[in-house]
Structures are given as structure tokens and as C-alpha cells.
Structure 1
Amino acid sequence: MTEQTAHPIATGPNFNESGKKIAQLVYILQAVGFFLGGIPILVGIIINYVKRADVQGTIWASHFRWQIRTFWFSLLWAIIGGLLLFVAIGGLVLLANAVWTIYRAVKGWLYLNDGKAMY
């Protein structure tokens, strides 16, 4: 019996170089969008949904899932934080959301560059 790792490395039949390049592009759009506004982030999420079928069965699908979840949860917490600005804790929620979003983008990018799947 072979030991399986929690984060498989990208090799063999499930390795698709174009999927990796698309995931890299979306991570870049997330990072740029974080500093320049939401349009690049929206472009990134559209790319995720349009190209998601192309990466099914590869480890890059896990990165797409990670990116999609990052987008939706970040949007949710941004809305909640915006609404809570009226009761003074919204700023803390928005700050935590920003830190969490940056963490997810950096972690995903590092795993992608190492050829590892996200969990």
C-alpha cells in the first residue's frame, strides 16, 4: 500500500500546463484587484467559471475551487463589514477580510508554483 500525501504534486496524466497558467493569471488578477479595485477580481472569477471544465480531473481544479471560494467568501465578508461600519466593528471585519484574502492568494500562489493541489 502506498502512502498518499495531503497535497499531491503535479505530475502524470493529471498535469495540465495550461490549467496552471490560467490559475496563475487568476491569482495575479486577485492580487492586482486587491490594490486597484474590483474589476480585475471580477475578470478573474469569470475566467474561473468559464475555464473550470477544462481543468476538471487535474490538480488545478483544486486551485480554481480555492479561488472561487476566496472570491465569494471575501465578497460576503466585505458586505457584512460594510454593513457593520455603522456599529463601529465593520472596520475590524473589513481588515480581517483583507488579511484573510491576501493570505489565501499568497498560499494558493505558493502551492501552485510548487505544483501542489489545494485542499
Structure 2
Amino acid sequence: MISTTSERVSVDDPSLAHFLYALMSAFPILFLPTLVGLFINLGQRTSCSGAMISSHLRWQRHSIIGFMLMGGIGLSLTQIWLSSLVYLVAILWFCHRIVKGWLNLTDGAAV
């Protein structure tokens, strides 16, 4: 007898997360690839079923939004030296988040 019950299979395919980390790492190119990655990430919020992949998508969203907030703070400052310091901290923090997230994804661990 053939069973026709359908079960939802959870597939943790990390290829989308790898692609989004690659878009995030291209942030020096007018920040456009990072925004495209954010929009793709926001579109995948409801369709992601695996816990590991959803933790990486959440990590990416928080990283991009935090980077944009720090950039906005740096833009609003009037003193050039302070604004440059905020930009430098934001870039270093964002690069750290990209590297840490991507390495954890490669290892198969959640962030």
C-alpha cells in the first residue's frame, strides 16, 4: 500500500545565505548590493524553515540595519574627525559581523 501523506521537509540549504553574505561584503560599491541583499532577506523571512538559516538571515538583517544606523549617525555629526571615527567603527563592526556570520555558516552553526 502506498502512503500519500505529505510531510513538510525542512531543508537547510545555505546557498541563499552565502549569496546574501557575498552581497553584504560588496558594501563599498555604493552600498547598493547590501540594500539588494536586505530586500531579498526581508522577502525570505516567512519562507525560511530551518533554524540555522533563519538565525543567519536575522543576523544579516540586524547587521545591515545597524550599519545603516551608524552611518546615519556619522552623517548627522558636524565635526569631520568625529564623523570619520564613527564611519570607521561602523565599517570595522560590519566587516566583523560579515566574517563571523559567514564562518559560522560555513561550519554549519547558527549565529
Shorter-chain TM-score bucket reads: 0.7 to 0.9
Residue segments in structure 2 that go unaligned for 5+ positions in a row: 1-8
- Aligned with residue 24 of structure 1, among 15, 18, 24: 18
Question: Distance in 2 between the 1:97 and 1:37 partners?
Answer: 15
Q: Does 1:98 align with 2:94?
A: no
TM-score, structure 1 normalization: 0.80
Q: How does 1:108-119 map to 2 (within 5 A)?
A: 108-118=101-111
- Aligned twin of 1:81: 74
Question: Distance in 1 between the 2:17 and 2:50 partners?
Answer: 15
- Aligned twin of 1:50: 43
Structure 2 letter corresponding to 1:114: D
State the percentage of identical aligned residues.
34
- Aligned with residue 62 of structure 1, among 55, 63, 73: 55
Do the aligned partners of 1:15 and 1:59 also contact (CA within 8 Å) in 2?
no
3-state SS of 2:109 partner: coil
Question: Distance in 2 between the 1:50 and 1:16 partners?
Answer: 17
Structure 1 letter corresponding to 2:90: N
RMSD of equivalent CA atoms: 1.4
TM-score, structure 2 normalization: 0.85
Displacement, 1:15? 4.7
Structure number having the greater helix percentage:
1
Change (3 A) 1:14 1:117: farther
Residue segments in structure 1 that go unaligned for 5+ positions in a row: 1-12
- Aligned twin of 1:107: 100
Do the aligned partners of 2:74 and 2:87 also contact (CA within 8 Å) in 1?
yes
Do the aligned partners of 2:12 and 2:50 also contact (CA within 8 Å) in 1?
no
Displacement, 1:54? 2.0
Report the count of equivalent residues: 102
Q: Does 1:36 align with 2:65?
A: no
3-state SS of 2:19 partner: helix
Displacement, 1:35? 2.2
Q: Report Cα offsets for 1:100-119 as digits up to 9, x if no partner.
A: 0000001000000000001x
